[in-house]
């Protein structure tokens, strides 16, 4: 049983097909298939259902044990690289578009200045997809909406994402600094897509509060919503972090009792954290490095 064969089995199990696994591993599809077949011949059991590309019970067992081996070997390689102080270190960090665009710029700028020999790779996905990549060892850490969905992660809360109402700058409500959900009840409302974790959290809060927004638009883009608010199309509720004084044509209002969503870093429990990853995590926890939140 070789490490390469275990890598191939894990890749097929996680990607769902030989083609996707081959692409991930930078191997040919026949080479991946050959490694799986060799494993099956050695163990005397079928590991994959070829028609459905799913694991058999024996394949499930080998995958659960094998992925730990693959992750441990990857951790050893990173640990040895740290000892050697190699100049070509790579740090892979996952995050949402929102955090990458509105929260991380100062942190990334400071990190790249302090660690010029570390290549920082930022991957933008949903929190769930990023968690999967951390577990597979494709990312060193991720900054996601907490809580983490499995005990396989270690986590550190970084800040709490707060919300505010945004209205057109010439709206009557813009004359004050506060509003309530009741004030927004009859307003045309621009909704954040409920497919996002933030959108889901807001919808649950609205339901609990008995607030039924008069939705005229759904969007997964904060920038789109802000632009449409500035055009007078409606009002919305957005994270404070995405609204700045540079946004023209909109006003930001405090709304009592809106939800607060914790944002934090996650990494694989028991995995090796490289020096560059620890430095990035330490920087994330530096007071003042993350704007518009409440660092822990």
Both 168 and 235 in one domain: the answer is: yes
| 289 within some domain | no
Position 72 scores a pLDDT of: 76
pLDDT digits (tens, 9 = 90+) for 255-267: 988 888 899 999 9
Both 24 and 63 in one domain: the answer is: yes
The answer to whether the beta carbons of residues 92 and 121 sit under 8 Å apart is yes
The answer to whether the beta carbons of residues 163 and 237 sit under 8 Å apart is yes
Both 203 and 62 in one domain: the answer is: no
Position 155 scores a pLDDT of: 93
| 208 within some domain | yes
Both 142 and 272 in one domain: the answer is: yes
Both 187 and 66 in one domain: the answer is: no
Position 294 scores a pLDDT of: 42
41: CATH: 1.10.10.10
Position 127 scores a pLDDT of: 84
Position 295 scores a pLDDT of: 40
Can you read off the two tokens belonging to residue 108?
């990334």
Q: What is the DSSP string of the chain?
A: --HHHHHHHHHHHHHSSHHHHHHHHT--HHHHHHHHHHHHHHHTS--EETTTTEE-HHHHHHHHHHHHHHHHHHHHHHHHHHHHT-TTEEEEEEE-HHIIIIISHHHHHHHHHH-TTEEEEEEE--HHHHHHHHHTTS-SEEEEESSPSSTTEEEEEEEEE-EEEEEETTSGGGGSSB--HHHHTTSEEEEEPTTSHHHHHHHHHHHHHT---EEEEEES-HHHHHHHHHTTS-BEEEEGGG--TT-TTEEEEB-TT---EEEEEEEETTPPPPHHHHHHHHHHTSTTSS-SS---
| 293 within some domain | no
Angle of the 3-15 helix axis to the 18-25 helix axis, nearest 10: 120
Q: Cα 128–201–225 angle (5° rounding)?
A: 95
The answer to whether the beta carbons of residues 141 and 267 sit under 8 Å apart is yes
Position 253 scores a pLDDT of: 93
| 294 within some domain | no
Both 73 and 106 in one domain: the answer is: no
How far apart, in whole angstroms, are the C-alpha atoms of residue 132 and residue 126?
10
Of 62, 81, 100, the domain-final residue = 81
| 216 within some domain | yes
The answer to whether the beta carbons of residues 8 and 27 sit under 8 Å apart is yes
Both 269 and 144 in one domain: the answer is: yes
Both 167 and 249 in one domain: the answer is: yes
Both 153 and 270 in one domain: the answer is: yes
| 295 within some domain | no
Q: Cα 256–262–266 angle (5° rounding)?
A: 175
pTM over 0.75: no
Both 18 and 38 in one domain: the answer is: yes
Both 8 and 43 in one domain: the answer is: yes
Give me the number of domains the chain comprises: 3
How far apart, in whole angstroms, are the C-alpha atoms of residue 199 and residue 151?
24
Length of the chain: 296
Exposed, middle or buried, 248 (CB in 10 Å: 0-12/13-18/19+)? exposed
Of 63, 81, 99, the domain-final residue = 81
| 100 within some domain | yes
Instruction: Give the chain's residues under pLDDT 50.
Output: 293-296
117: CATH: 3.40.190.10
Of 47, 81, 115, the domain-final residue = 81
Exposed, middle or buried, 271 (CB in 10 Å: 0-12/13-18/19+)? buried
Both 209 and 274 in one domain: the answer is: no
The answer to whether the beta carbons of residues 106 and 287 sit under 8 Å apart is no
The answer to whether the beta carbons of residues 17 and 53 sit under 8 Å apart is yes
| 292 within some domain | no
Q: Can you give the residue range of the structural domain that contains 76?
A: 3-81
């Amino acid at each position: 049983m070789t490490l390469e064969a275990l890598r191939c089995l894990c890749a097929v199990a996680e990607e769902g097909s030989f083609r996707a696994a081959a692409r991930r591993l930078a191997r040919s599809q026949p080479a991946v298939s050959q490694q799986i077949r060799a494993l099956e011949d050695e163990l005397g059991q079928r590991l994959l259902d070829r028609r459905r590309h799913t694991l058999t019970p024996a394949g499930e067992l080998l995958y659960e044990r094998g992925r730990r081996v693959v992750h441990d070997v990857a951790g050893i390689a990173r640990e040895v690289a740290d000892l050697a102080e190699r100049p070509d270190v790579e740090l892979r960090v996952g995050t949402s578009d929102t955090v990458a665009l509105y929260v991380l710029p100062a942190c990334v700028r400071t990190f790249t200045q302090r660690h010029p020999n570390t290549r920082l790779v930022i991957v933008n996905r949903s929190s769930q997809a990023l968690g999967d990549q951390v577990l597979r060892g494709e990312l060193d850490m991720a900054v996601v909406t907490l809580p983490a969905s499995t005990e396989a992660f270690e986590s550190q809360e970084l800040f709490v994402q707060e919300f505010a109402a945004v209205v057109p700058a010439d709206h009557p409500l813009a004359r004050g600094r506060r509003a309530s959900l009741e004030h927004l009840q009859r307003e045309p409302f621009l909704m954040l897509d409920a497919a996002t974790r933030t959108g889901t959290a807001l919808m649950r809060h609205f339901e609990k509060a008995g607030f039924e927004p008069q939705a005229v638009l759904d969007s997964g883009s904060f920038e789109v919503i802000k632009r449409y608010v500035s055009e007078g199309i409606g009002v919305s509720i957005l994270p404070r972090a995405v609204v700045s004084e540079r946004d023209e044509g909109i006003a930001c209002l405090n709304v009592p009792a809106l939800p607060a969503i914790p944002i934090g870093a996650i990494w694989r429990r028991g995995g090796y954290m490289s020096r560059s990853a620890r430095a990035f995590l330490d920087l994330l926890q530096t007071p003042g490095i993350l704007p518009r939140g409440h660092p822990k």
